A and B are shown apart, each in its own frame.
Chain A
Amino acid sequence: MNEETKKQINARYERELNKGEFFWPDSIFKDAVVSLGIFILLILLATFVGVAGEPKADPSDTSYLPRPEWYFLFLFKFLALYGQIPVVGKIEWLATVLVPSIAIGLLLFIPFVDKKQDRFYAKRALPLGIMFTMVVDIVILTLISDVPTVAADDATLFVKLSASLQPYAGLVIPGVVMALLFFLPRVYKDISWKSMTWLTGIGSFLMIGLTIAILTFAPKLESTETELASTLAEQIFAGQDLYSLHCVECHGDDGKVTVIEGVEGLEGKAISPINSRDVLYTVNDASMAEIIAYGRPDSGMNPFGRMYNPEGLSKGEIDYIVTFMRYMWDDRFEIPAEALKPLFPPLFEGEVPSYDVHIAPIVKRYCVSCHREGKESNNYWMDSYDNIINMGDNAPNIVAGDPNSYLLQVIQGHEIKDAKGEVIIGVMPPKSTLKPNVIDVFIRWIMAGMPRTAMDAAALYVQPTPAVTPTP
């Protein structure tokens, strides 16, 4: 650039300055308005959307699907699509290193690549066209980042289509458009900026159209939301639920068990009661979590962590169990008041309990640990309303209105014997007895015909007949 052009540019700027305004307060006022708008948006997002909870990092959980922060999603998707290209796609570093380096290099050195002094948009169709195509590409790659790049062989036509269109939308069309934008002016010297704009527009139109098609045909993703407990009380509840499911079978609902009974393979094994000071005072949180995760083979403790079993407990879940044990049984800890919520709301005179409100939490706490898939429990799974009523080798275990239903008998301490006098169902739960108010819930529920929802139960509610009031 010669001194003459520089002088022209500076003189041109002087003319604009004379027509202009002052930084303070004119420009700063605009800045402040925009910043305030952004700030309000920020506060609204922080207050009403918040930060989504996530489970604790678990290096052993290799099944976790990694997702970067949203502004890197386009790179992530670019790499996935690039991998689809035959032959070149296998040379990974071209996409991970070379292409991003070229992009950053171009961006960085654009003042030295684009040396013309034109600033008006009509004179800059090439750089604007390329940048526009890039930005559209970044946006659509971000949008389709969740859609699987490869469809399974037995997928529907639409799903296959949604996968196979992606390289065209994300790589081929933008690539072709940018190449045309670059080479056309070199071949046809007098190409107008309008033609260039049309080219850019058509390219983006195609990319956006394909993206809409990809998103419409995309297979619906199952959201696998894990339950997260944030407050201490929630963590204790979560730990209690997990404990009920995985631990009660051997350790009992109160952790008191010293000899395991009725568990396949561990019958008669002597164990330390895990609610005792001996255990709680001598084993710290980290060791306790490790015992749960890795087990103690010589003392009968099975490993529950995910490193041995993809469906095992995550690190966070194990931490919840440890927290539950500490606050429930360790006398050095004070249980927070909000964690002392009763298992189910107490019943009034004449009130009928429902499955949803009363039976489900009770069964979850005391029964499901054994009565579920994969456990020897006479094939009686108590994991859902229908299964509780219909399943089991000795079904029906529950008969509406029958006070001698098997379930009611065994929880009240009576074994069920067959015609030959052999015990077919023992007393339940095997190692402890339910509290009278829990048994009362079961009796009321079965006698009233096993209502499922709180609404059904409320309809069965019989007002205790009030004393006759004289009519005035």
Chain B
Amino acid sequence: MPESLSRRDFMKVSVYFVGGIVGATVGLPAVGYLIDPALGGVAKEAWIPLGKLADMPEVGKPYPFSFTRVQVNGWERTATSHGGFVIRKSDAPDDLVILNSRCTHLACTVNWKEEERVFLCPCHDASFDAEGAVLDGPPPRPLDRYAEFRVTEDGILEIFYKEG
């Protein structure tokens, strides 16, 4: 019975076809749905004002600063604090080193010890010199720097911050 055979084949193909359509209509959007956060757009960038450069006159003295950024993750907002030090290397207005105060070992916050002129990390006693280079301890690299900065017309020092 070739005729009834082809009818059966038609039914089989139709069933596979329906399965394919349903699978694709649910499956493809589902993949997009699941990986959506990974496709999150460009990292947020901003110029963060740290204060008047005129208020940081001394060469070689670390001036601490801190700022807070809010990240919106889905339905939740998290405020993250960042801190660091501004150090003048010379009298020239743009000869600055701006260090991130987060230790490069395990992200503890380093403190400035004036008498020894080092940044001390309280967690594993690591120390860095005034320009962030590792002097002692486990950190794998010098303190991170905010490399991009500018001084506005009003004399305010701003650093460029990129999220993530």
Q: Which residues of A contact B (CB under 8 A)?
A: 24-26, 28-29, 32-33, 35-36, 39, 43, 281, 285, 330, 332-334
Contacts and interface: CB of A to CB of B under 8 A. Distances in A.
28 contacts: A24-B12, A25-B8, A25-B12, A25-B15, A26-B8, A26-B11, A28-B11, A28-B15, A29-B12, A29-B14, A29-B15, A32-B14, A32-B15, A32-B18, A32-B19, A33-B14, A33-B18, A35-B18, A36-B21, A39-B22, A39-B25, A281-B68, A285-B77, A330-B70, A332-B68, A332-B70, A333-B70, A334-B46
Given A28-B15, A36-B22, A332-B68, 15 more contacts: A25-B8, A25-B12, A28-B11, A29-B11, A32-B14, A32-B15, A32-B18, A32-B19, A33-B18, A35-B22, A36-B21, A39-B25, A281-B68, A285-B77, A332-B79
A357 B21 CA distance: 47
Nearest to B8: A25
A412 to B, nearest CB: 32
B148 to A, nearest CB: 19
Nearest to B80: A332
A332 B14 contact: no
A25 B14 CA distance: 10
Contacts of A39: 22, 25
Interface-central residue, A285, A330, A332, A334, by most chain B CB under 10 Å: A332
A471 B22 CA distance: 68
Nearest to A27: B11
Interface of B: 8, 11-12, 14-15, 18-19, 21-22, 25, 44, 46, 68-70, 77, 79
A333 B70 CA distance: 6
Contacts of B69: 332
Contacts of B25: 39, 43
B contacts with A: majority SS: helix
Interface-central residue, B11, B25, B46, B70, by most chain A CB under 10 Å: B11
Contacts, number: 37
Contacts of B46: 334
A39 B69 CA distance: 45
Contacts of B21: 36
Contacts of A25: 8, 11-12, 15
A371 B22 CA distance: 57
Given A29-B11, A333-B70, A36 B44 contact: no
Interface-central residue, B12, B18, B21, B77, by most chain A CB under 10 Å: B18
A contacts with B: majority SS: helix
A34 to B, nearest CB: 10
Contacts of B14: 29, 32-33
Contacts of A333: 70
Nearest to A334: B44
A407 to B, nearest CB: 39
B18 A36 contact: yes
A26 B8 CA distance: 7
Contacts of A24: 12
A25 B12 CA distance: 6
Contacts of A35: 18, 22
A180 B21 CA distance: 51
Nearest to B69: A332
B85 to A, nearest CB: 21
Please provide the 7 A-B residue pairs with the shortest distance between their CB atoms, ordered closest to farther.
Answer: A29-B11, A25-B11, A332-B70, A32-B18, A32-B15, A36-B18, A25-B12
A465 to B, nearest CB: 43
Contacts of A36: 18, 21-22
A332 B161 CA distance: 13
Contacts of B12: 24-25, 29
A25 B5 CA distance: 11
Nearest to A36: B18
A33 B19 CA distance: 10
A333 B22 CA distance: 42
A33 B11 CA distance: 10
Nearest to A22: B8
A279 to B, nearest CB: 15
Nearest to B49: A331
Interface-central residue, B19, B21, B22, B46, by most chain A CB under 10 Å: B22
A64 to B, nearest CB: 23
Contacts of A28: 11, 15
A202 B44 CA distance: 71
A25 B68 CA distance: 64
A332 B66 CA distance: 13
Contacts of B68: 281, 332
Nearest to A39: B22
Contacts of A334: 44, 46
Interface-central residue, A25, A28, A33, A43, by most chain B CB under 10 Å: A25
A57 to B, nearest CB: 15
Contacts of B11: 25-26, 28-29
A281 B81 CA distance: 12
A26 B69 CA distance: 63
A132 B14 CA distance: 36
Contacts of A33: 14, 18
